[in-house]
Each structure stands twice: as C-alpha cells, then as structure tokens.
Structure 1
Amino acid sequence: MFESLKKKFSRTSDKLEEELKEEAQQENNLDPDEKPQKKRSFFSFGRKKEEPKEEETTEQLALESGEDDSGEEVEESSLLSEETTDSEEITKDEPKEEKKSFFSFGRNKKEEVEEESVEEADEDSEEESEDKKSFFSFGRKKSDDDDEESSGGFFSFIREKTISEKHVEDTLWELEMGLLEGDVAMEVASEVVESVKQNLVGKKIKRSNDITEYTFNALRDAVAEIIDIPGKNMTEMIEEKKAQGEPLVVMFVGINGTGKTTTIGKLANYYLKKGYTPVIAASDTFRAGAIEQVNYHADNVGVKLIKHQKGSDPAAVAYDAIEHARAQGKELVLIDTAGRMQTNTNLMDEMKKIKRVANPDLVIFVGDALTGNDATEQAVKFNDAIDVDGVILTKADADSKGGASLSIGYVIKKPILFLGMGQGYEDIMEYDAQWMLNQLFSEDEEEVSESE
C-alpha cells in the first residue's frame, strides 16, 4: 500500500542529504578522517531498546564448572582430554594439510588458482553490494546485517551545520509537487510541507544519520497530525444505543461504483460476527437491479432485508427497517441509498428527505480510494449537502498513491471509520491512525504486521 507516498518521503530525505553534502564539499567541511560507522536504521529512532538476553543459564554454568545436577564432578571430559594429550603432542608440530575433495584429484594447479580467484571475486562483490540503506529501512528489527559496519552514504562534518530555509527550499518544493501528483489535496500537501519546514529549519547536524533522523521525525509528525481526526466509534455507539433500547441507524451515501452496497454487506457481516443483529434497508429504489444486488449480499451474510417495490419511496423503506429493528430488538440498521452524482440536485434532495425521515445516528460517505482527489471532492460536496459524520474508503488495499487516505478526513474534518481491504465479506477493518502511520512509514507489509 501507498508505495508512491513512501518513495516521495524517501526522496525528501535523500534530497536534503544531497543539498547539505554538496554545500559541505564546497566549504571543505566534510571530515576526511571519519571512520566508517553503522548507518542507523530509519525506524530505530524512538524504538525501545530490547532487554539483553541472559548470557549463561544455570545449566550451562554447571557444565562449565564440571558438576552435574547432583553436584558431583563430571570426569568424562577430563578422561577424554588425557587420552588425546599424547596424540596432540605427536602431531602439533606437523603442518596440517587441507583435505582435498574427491573430484579435486586430476585437476591442474592453474584450475585451482582460477577457482580461488573466483571465490575471492565473489567475496569482493558481496562487500560492494552493501548499498546505502533505504529511507524505509529505519524501524526494522535489528538483524545480523545491522551489526556490520556500513560506510555507504555515511558522512560527517568537521564543523556542525545548521539546517536553514535555503537548504530545504528545493527539497520541500519537490515534496509538495510529489504529493500533488500522488492525488493529495492541495491544502493537505501545503500543511505537510509547512509542518516539515518548521520542524527541520534550525536543527543542528553533525552527520548524515542526523539528517535522516530529523527528516523522518518531521515527516512522521506532519502526517500523524493529518490522518488522526477524532470522531465517533461505531461500535461504541451501538452499545450506547443498545443501553437506551434503540437501534443504531446508519445511512450510507456516495456515488455509483464506489462499492457502497458491498460495503454494507461487509459491515453487516462484521457486526454479525461481533454478536449484533443488523437489518438492511433497501432504500435504493431508483437504480435498476439495486434491490436485487443488496438482497444478494443480505442472503450471503444471513441478515434480514427490508425492501419495497422498485420506484417506491426510499424514505418509507428506511422507516420500516427502523421500526422492524425496534420491534425485533435488533441493534443496527444499515440504510442503502441510491448512488448519485453530487451535481444531481433532484437525487440530492431525495437523499435529504431520507435523512429527515430516518433521522440516522450516522451518515457515512463511501468513497473509492483509487479515485484520489475525486473521492475527496465528492466527500466535500456530500458533506456540504447533508453533513456526513464519517468516511469509509473502499479498495484501500490496492491504493498505491494514498492521496485519498491522506486527504479526505482532513479536508472535511470528519474521521475515516473503516477501510475496505479486499473483495470478501471479511475484508474490512476499523480505521486506526497508528496502523495507517505504520503503513506509510514501513518498508513492507511484514514490518507493518509486526508493529500491530
């Protein structure tokens, strides 16, 4: 997910490092005597240190001291050592010959020398292949490779440098253009760039690791502010309404093709698995085949569907579903509405009527993450017309750019509640800002799953 944004964030760190290194070279401010040091992994900043493992167990100590579990001395090893002493004395002065393999006989000396040179070349190529670590390698668990020294890309200054506005000007302009190309809304891109600028300018640096650390923290802090919009939790709201003896009424709005009806099926299944009993209202009486489509999903997940004839009053369908839930003690009503373009005045007015009659506790806009800025613009129009309470983004798992996920909540000041993560009924998850942050600042899915 969000590979495009990850690359842009990575490039920001690299670009700033290039700017400062170039200036330092002109000032003769690079330390030529600096010994190669380890390039700190990107996500190691702020990570808690792991507790050291016990070096020796009680059993190991007992063996080393020559005692068994009963406290008696172990003599077997000493006997073996006595037996081998004589043979060691006889052979210690004789040079040991390396045992030749079966197939080495018959080869000439030249072939053996050539083989040795190939092995040495392989070792050299392995050493040269240790490239400078990528921007998103930071935060990964420490591995054996991290213990080895790496000089690739590492440098330090003779005199400490201070990051100034001129250093970040080109870098941040490139970042802003990259965000806009990634379908990030203009105001969001500007906010991220301004926040990063404020966090970086004035920072004092001594080595390239400092640049990477400060850039990482600045970007992460800026994005964290953007994506964490406080709002209502749907599950908590169900419990609150249940305590009052009322169902939670949720109305879904959005244009055709965003996966709105499928999302309703996913949510019905999600809350059914949590022990609640949902009911679906087929209030899309306008589009041909809409009632059959929602009926298909209701049958698949095993929930009740309230429906009328095609062309009937959608508000009446919503009203009947709410009354059914009250009578049967069901906790959740999910109202499907006709997908409509935000520019269609008549259909928007009909949607407002459904809201007046049903009086929903939540109005949720369903948008397609792959449409980027279009999803954000649609959310703005629906929010202006009907005042939505939250957002569900579908197809988030296939979103390489991440523009909608980063922008939509911040622009309309409403939280993302769920993310569609696939085509199955199980493929939906409650939105978590920390999870999203990890997705944006981790190199691969494995690292993300470890951080959850």
Structure 2
Amino acid sequence: MFESLKKKLSRTSDKLEEEIIEEAKQEDNLQEETGQKRSFFSFGRKKEEKEEIDESTLLETSEDVSADVEEEKKSHFWSRNKDEDEATEEVEEIEEAEEKKSRFWSRNKDDKEESDDEGPEEEKKSHLWSRNKDEDESPEEEESDDKEEGTEDGEEEKKSHFWSRNKDEDESPEGTGGLFSFVREKTISEKHVEDTLWELEMGLLEGDVAMEVATEVVESVKDDLIGRKIKRSSDITEYTYNALRNAVSEIIDIPGKSMTEMIEEKKAQGEPLVVMFVGINGTGKTTTIGKLANYYLKKGYTPVIAASDTFRAGAIEQVTHHADNVGVKIIKHQKGSDPAAVAFDAVEHAKAQGKELVLIDTAGRMQTNTNLMDEMKKIKRVSKPDLVIFVGDALTGNDATQQAAKFNEAIDIDGVILTKADADSKGGASLSIGYVIKKPIMFLGVGQGYDDIMEYDAEWMLNQLFSEDEAAVEE
C-alpha cells in the first residue's frame, strides 16, 4: 500500500545526503567510517522497538538470568565433583582388574615355562596389545573430560557475552552503502534543500497529492531541516525521516468523533444515529453501506438501510441484495418514488423498533449536476442525518479530493470513507482529502468482502507510509 509515495519520501533523504556529501568532498571535509549506512525506514523501526521495551522488565530479566547462571554454576560444581568421584572409582576398578590379569598371566607363565617355549612371546604380545588399548582409551577419557569442562566454560562465556552481543546488534548500522563523517561539523542550509524539496514537491504532485498539501509538507520539512547541525551522513537520513514524518502526521490527523462513539451517545438519548451517504456513481457507496451494516451488526447494534436511490436502474435491487446477505432490515419504495420519503420512513422505523443505526443510500451524482445536488439537500432536510459521509474512490487520487470539496460546499459533509485503499499505490487521496476539506477520514475499504473495512487510524496510516515492512504494522 502507498509504495509509490514511500519511494518518493525515501528518495528525498537520499537526494539531500548526495547534495551535502558532494559539497563536503569539494571542501575536503569528508572521511569514511567503518560500518554500513542505515536505511531511511530503519529509523522508524528502531524507534518503535525502543518504545515497546519496558526497562523494568529488562532489569528483572537480567536479574533472573544472573540467578539462573549462579544456579547453573552450582549445579555444574556438584556435577563435576560427582564426575570426579565416579572417575576415581573407575580408575580403582581398572587397576584392580589389571592386577588380576597380571597374576593370571604370571601363573600361566609358571605352568607353561617347561612345556611351551613360545609362551613368553605370546605373553609379551598380549601385554603389548593390552597396554596399547589402555593407552588409547585413557587419552580419550582425558580428552572427554577436557571437552566437558571446555563446554561448560564455553557456555558460561556465551552467557556472559549475551547482553553485550544484543547491545552491539542494536547499535549496529543497517542497510547498504558507505558511512561518512565530516571533519568539520556542517549545517544544513537553504541551498542544500532547495533542489531536494523541489523534487519532493514534484513527486508528491505526481502521486496525486493536492497542491496545497504538497506545499504544506515541503514548507514544514524545510523549516525543520534548515539550521540542523550534522556530524555524520546518518544524521542527514535521520533528520529527514523525522521531518517528513512530522509533516505528514500533521496533515493526516484530522480530529473527529468515531461513528461508534456517536452511536453510543445517541443510544443514551434513546435515538438512532442517522447516517447519509453521498458521492458520485461507481465509487462503491452501496457496497460500503453493506459493509458498515455488517460491521456494526457484529458489534451488537441493529442497523436498518434506507434505499433512497430510487432513480438508478437496479439500485434498489443492489442494496436489497447486500441487506439480505448481511441480515439487516431494508426500507424501500417503488422505483422513481421520492427518495426523501424513503429516508424518513427508515428513520421512523428505527425509532419505533429501537434500532441504533440508520444507513441512507442516495443516488450517485456528479458534483456539477445542480438538480441532483438540490435533491440531495432535500433528503438531508427531511431525514435530519447526524452524519453526512462522502464515499470516494482512493484510486481516483486528486479527483476524489476535488469531488469531496464540491460536495462539502453544497451539503457540508461530516466525514469521508475511502474505498479501494488496499489497491492504492500512490496514496494521494488518503494524504490529501481530510486536510483539504478539514473533515476526518472515518473508514477505509480494504477489499471486496463484507469484512474488508476498517476504522481509520492516523497512526496506522503513518506507519503504512514510513514502514519498510508492511506486515510489521498490519493489525
């Protein structure tokens, strides 16, 4: 998701680093260091990992490890003593067996001296083989003992170096490329960022980000970077990462209540929450209503759908199909009837039956069609919705932002739902739409199934844009 925009953000860091390093080379103010360059996205990953670490837990863990090591040392001490005792007993048994063997051969020698001249030779051979066998076995036993002691010492050494290795790994650089430092500290100036930020602005516009949003991001990054003191090339990447992240976080975080909170507030008053959906044809408005009905049904609420799109052919059948699939009540009239009357009936039904949520489907219309926009205003006057939500297609990029702005001027919308966000590689609409109309994104459609919808979370969105590995931020 948003791969194109992520690449442009990363390129900003690389471009600025290239500018400053090239200048440092000309000034003879550059020296290469050992290590590797950290990637742009690694700064966010390291920050997230540090936030998740509980220091008290680390202290307790280290104490536990120390206690475990002491216990293991004790157990090794007793086991070594036990092994030594057993080894001593084995040696005594071997010596006793050897003594018996020597007496046995000596008796045989006395008995056979007169009758067999080859006896002494055989006896020598048997003694030779037995001695070789003993010599071969004894080094193996000693070597085995040495290996056991060496293994124990190795285990202790491994454990003692465990924390230091982890510390080294945490501090080690990531990514590829050279790591440089400056002999004399450098300061990021306007001339360093001028070309870089122009390229960033062009990249944002190519990614369907609205002009005013692209300008705001560039100005914020410029103010954040200029005057920064840098000693190493990695400082440039880190400062750029933080500047971009801060700028984007201000853009996408538009405050507003969630629909769930509003349902609870209306429920406390004994009233249903009435939500009216608007937008142009083909953005997935009717399907989104089915998804939301399913979403809140699973949360324990009882929605009802109003089929107020009475003009488009097949619209009533389509919304009825979704209502039947998820198992909610639908209020509908004949094709061509008054859409406002359908919405009014749905609201009255919800009040009479104690249902908590009314979802009003309306006919898709272009923002330039004055007659249809007036009809939409009538539905709003009659049904008195608590929320008017614009449903836009994320893949249309800047067009979705312009459409939302027009609908907001005509009817004063309260929030936005973006469909097909999972297929959006650019991310322009997701980045721009809330900031332009100053209204929050409430939900994102992330697939074709009824469960493929999620409440919008600015922090989640930020992680999508500034995370190299999408699987680490998916919920």
- Out of 268, 271, 290, the position equivalent to 1:243 is 268
What is residue 43 of structure 1 aligned with on the other side?
44
Shift of 1:231: 1.4
- Contact 1:38-1:146 at 8 Å conserved across structures: no
d(CA) in 2 for partners of 1:170, 1:77: 74
d(CA) in 2 for partners of 1:181, 1:76: 76
When normalised by structure 2's length, the TM-score is 0.79
Q: Is 1:443 equivalent to 2:468 in the alignment?
A: yes
Q: Deviations over 1:399-441 (max 9, x none)?
A: 0000000000000000000000100000000000000000000
- Out of 73, 84, 90, the position equivalent to 1:78 is 84
What is residue 296 of structure 1 aligned with on the other side?
321
Q: 1:89 to 1:312 in 2, by over 3 A?
A: closer
- Contact 1:36-1:151 at 8 Å conserved across structures: no
d(CA) in 2 for partners of 1:81, 1:23: 72
Aligned pairs for 1:48-127 within 5 A:
48=50, 50=53, 51=55, 52=58, 53-54=61-62, 56=65, 58-66=67-75, 75-78=81-84, 86-87=138-139
What is residue 311 of structure 1 aligned with on the other side?
336
Q: Name the amino acid aligned to 2:38.
A: K
Q: Name the amino acid aligned to 1:363.
A: V
Q: 1:91 to 1:387 in 2, by over 3 A?
A: closer
Q: Name the amino acid aligned to 2:464.
A: Q
Shift of 1:146: 7.2
d(CA) in 2 for partners of 1:232, 1:3: 29
- Contact 1:279-1:334 at 8 Å conserved across structures: yes
Q: Deviations over 1:241-261 (max 9, x none)?
A: 111111000000000100000
Structure showing greater radius of gyration is 2
- Contact 1:420-1:427 at 8 Å conserved across structures: yes
What is residue 9 of structure 1 aligned with on the other side?
9
Cα RMSD, aligned residues only: 2.6
Shift of 1:64: 1.7
- Contact 2:45-2:467 at 8 Å conserved across structures: no
d(CA) in 1 for partners of 2:257, 2:399: 25
Q: Is 1:205 equivalent to 2:204 in the alignment?
A: no
d(CA) in 2 for partners of 1:393, 1:173: 29
Q: Is 1:413 equivalent to 2:438 in the alignment?
A: yes
- Contact 2:306-2:331 at 8 Å conserved across structures: yes
Q: 1:218 to 1:258 in 2, by over 3 A?
A: same
- Structure 2: which 5+ runs fail to align? 92-135, 145-165
- Contact 1:396-1:419 at 8 Å conserved across structures: yes
- Contact 1:45-1:213 at 8 Å conserved across structures: no
Q: Is 1:23 equivalent to 2:29 in the alignment?
A: no
Shift of 1:37: 6.0
Q: What secondary structure is seen at the aligned counterpart in 1 of 2:31? A: coil
The percent identity for this pair of structures is 77
- Contact 2:291-2:453 at 8 Å conserved across structures: yes
- Contact 2:35-2:173 at 8 Å conserved across structures: no
Q: Name the amino acid aligned to 1:239.
A: E
- Out of 296, 305, 330, the position equivalent to 1:280 is 305
- Out of 216, 219, 222, the position equivalent to 2:244 is 219
Q: 1:424 to 1:149 in 2, by over 3 A?
A: closer
Q: Name the amino acid aligned to 1:42.
A: F
When normalised by structure 1's length, the TM-score is 0.83
Q: Deviations over 1:200-235 (max 9, x none)?
A: 000000001100110000000000000000112111
Shift of 1:144: 5.9
Q: Name the amino acid aligned to 1:400.
A: S
| Count of residues in correspondence between the two structures | 398
d(CA) in 1 for partners of 2:16, 2:322: 51
d(CA) in 2 for partners of 1:188, 1:240: 34
- Contact 1:251-1:335 at 8 Å conserved across structures: yes
- Structure 1: which 5+ runs fail to align? 93-140
- Contact 1:36-1:150 at 8 Å conserved across structures: no
Q: What secondary structure is seen at the aligned counterpart in 2 of 1:31? A: strand
Q: Deviations over 1:68-105 (max 9, x none)?
A: 9xxx666344357778994169889xxxxxxxxxxxxx
Q: 1:393 to 1:86 in 2, by over 3 A?
A: same
Q: What secondary structure is seen at the aligned counterpart in 2 of 1:56? A: helix
Q: 1:293 to 1:86 in 2, by over 3 A?
A: same
Shift of 1:58: 3.8
Q: Deviations over 1:350-383 (max 9, x none)?
A: 0000000001000000000000011001001100
Q: What secondary structure is seen at the aligned counterpart in 2 of 1:419? A: strand
Q: Name the amino acid aligned to 1:415.
A: P
What is residue 363 of structure 1 aligned with on the other side?
388
Q: Name the amino acid aligned to 1:43.
A: G
What is residue 392 of structure 1 aligned with on the other side?
417
d(CA) in 1 for partners of 2:142, 2:416: 83
More helix by percentage: 2
Q: 1:412 to 1:74 in 2, by over 3 A?
A: same
Q: 1:228 to 1:344 in 2, by over 3 A?
A: same
Shift of 1:66: 3.4
Q: What secondary structure is seen at the aligned counterpart in 1 of 2:30? A: coil
d(CA) in 1 for partners of 2:186, 2:266: 58
d(CA) in 2 for partners of 1:212, 1:149: 12
d(CA) in 1 for partners of 2:454, 2:217: 26
- Out of 363, 367, 372, the position equivalent to 1:338 is 363
